[in-house]
Amino acid sequence: MPSQLPPAPTEAPRLQHADEALLVLDKPAGLLAVAGRGEAGQVHLAGWVQQRWPEALLVHRLDMATSGLMLFARSAAVQAALGELFAARLVDKQYLALVHGHPAQDSGDITLPVGADWPQRPRQQVDAVHGKPAHTRWQVLERHFTPAGQPVARLALQPLTGRTHQLRVHLLALGHAIVGDGLYAPEGITAPRLMLHASELRLPHPLTGQPCHFSSPAPF
């Protein structure tokens, strides 16, 4: 008998791009990138993609709570080529976030090392002793107030490294945690989700070398 298919996600991912080498998917917030623990962990983007493109291979991940663009390779050779592009920092990832408060500056760089907060896993933390180097570039796009008068700001973010929870930890360290972040944000502003979205990917095509640009508007 054929094996039972895993359940479909509540909100279907959206195909942004497909060619002989690449798939670009728009992942909804709340959907795992890969399989997790338990029954709920069987619903994930990689499984949804591989039901439709069995040859598809994961290239990078997003946190479950983060929405936006993810790449899949359509062969092991392309997966390896994309891995080299990421390692050489030739893949430019841009995120949009809504954060607590109004940053005093219009832009800046955060270069604080990030490592696991073992007693409070899955939390990460700034760790000058055991953390790995991490670099985030940020820019304020808009400052405004919620209807309740709470200051919030929309930021464009460029992670130049790819540490776990890097953007969330770096913005917390900046004093402007992401709205809706159940792990790191202070109480006071409620939100239906983590207000973090992978909005743009720029990279040379792994087969042709031609520049590729994929974008997804933030749903908040």
Q: Catalytic positions, please? A: 63
Instruction: Enter the tokens of residue 72.
Output: 């899949």
Are 52 and 45 a contacting pair, CB within 8 Å? Answer: no
Give the residue carrying structure tokens 């942004």. Answer: 16
| 92 contacts 104 by C-beta, under 8 angstroms | no
| Reduced 3-state DSSP string for 160-193 | CCCCCCHHHHHHHHHCCCECCCCCCCCCCCCCCC
Residue 123 Rama label (left phi>0; alpha psi -120 to 50; beta): beta
Show the CA angle centred on residue 133, arms to residues 129 and 138, nearest 5°.
125
